[in-house]
Structure 1
């Protein structure tokens, strides 16, 4: 299978170090001509695991710098799609192309678990995101800047074990930011956080996305999170894109607004609609 501008075909075995190096996001401003984000085009994408076909022909175009959220029932294929985009899995058929030649460090993924190295201090964990550039003279300064971007500059010499869950995810985000990627994939990165910490992290993700202009692709089970953060919400059903919904609500968004609640309710109805046209859980 030919995958133009693809990271999947040469993806090495996913070791802890490789995952840590890959898990690196960015920061700049959406919609600007010099924005850092890459456009993304997916055509005829399928993915099977043995006899189980998880993705059944995905066609999708994402503009540079856009924030897209992907929602769907468990097992619908949304995380599989994200892993293919991030280059962690090989597609069965189809193509994934970025608007120009993409380097490995241009596309990063942030997981639900922070995946920090327990034997390394916070600053060293962030430096891991630099990959081959870790030995450069400016590596420490870049890591310190990334920590400052997520509000953890005072934690640089702490051990991961003493950090809260939210702080650990901020370190994971800084590790992603330090590599200055152009596409950042989020796989339920806030799913394990308490409600207040989650809202705080949502605001941080939105701020760094607006500051840096990377293309953001978020997989989440939380529809409220999707409509609060995204420009578009994709609903995946049975391995296909069933709904592609624009979120035309001005930022910053009031999470208690009737407008967001109405959109969230509409998407939830789509998700909960049974095959017989009824709604159930």
Structure 2
């Protein structure tokens, strides 16, 4: 595929078929003024794959997600994916406090009032919150709020789900429960997932691959070979985690 000159970025649709959307990024560069954040970055993600990205603060992880969604304009390179069917889950749930749980999820739904309600109820069932549909966000725990945010992203059946530190504010046990929920939903729906996290154990627990970013570049891409569902404390996962931590500490 021919690549455009610096300053032109093409966003293409790999396929209109259902299922996960592949991602192909080539020679990507993003800058804020004279500050170059991403440098000649290449990344390929197969349809339906779960990829985790780790790295120190400021290495460009979140900038990469923003470029994929179109919120940042690269100065060079190509991004090939189904952007129209891409959804994002952020660290903050960003729920509407004046709307109940069902109405918050309906924000991402389409169709008639009845169809949107049905879609929202299905998404809430998927994340185990059917009994909270009429509740107000202020009455939910942190983990429940994040499950509502996940349901809102899932209600439109995304082909690519971007997760930008979605579990960073949760306590340890709730975080593990949410990791297991995300894995179950991903296995069931078959979308492609790209997770940004500072937690290497989380990256390894969820990812088919763990991509290490340093200074705006990908410096390592590690395959995680382990059966699913994953078990915390698994020796194979601990070995991969140790290798990645060693790399980050060296950096």
Which residue pairs with 1:21 in the alignment? none
Instruction: Specify which of 149, 153, 158 is matched with residue 172 of structure 1.
Output: 149
Deviation sequence 1:115-170 (CA, Å, 0-9, x none): 0000000000000012xx25454110010000000000000000000000000000
| TM-superposed deviation, 1:91 | 1.4
Which residue pairs with 2:58 in the alignment? 75
CA distance in 1, matches of 2:34, 2:247: 28
Which residue pairs with 2:98 in the alignment? 119
Contact 1:110 1:186 in 2 (8 A): yes
Task: Provide the alpha-carbon RMSD of the alignment.
Answer: 1.3
Kindly indicate whether residue 88 of structure 2 is the aligned counterpart of residue 109 of structure 1. yes
Contact 2:49 2:193 in 1 (8 A): yes
Contact 2:53 2:195 in 1 (8 A): yes
Contact 1:72 1:221 in 2 (8 A): yes
User: Structure 2: any 5+ residue segments left out of the alignment?
Assistant: 1-7
Which residue pairs with 1:271 in the alignment? 248
Contact 2:105 2:151 in 1 (8 A): yes
User: Structure 1: any 5+ residue segments left out of the alignment?
Assistant: 7-33, 275-281
Deviation sequence 1:167-195 (CA, Å, 0-9, x none): 00000001011011100000000000000
4+ runs deviating over 6 angstroms = none
Give the TM-score taking structure 1 as reference length: 0.83
Higher relative contact order (CA 8 A, sep 6+): 1
Deviation sequence 1:12-40 (CA, Å, 0-9, x none): xxxxxxxxxxxxxxxxxxxxxx8610111
Instruction: Specify which of 68, 89, 103 is matched with residue 85 of structure 1.
Output: 68
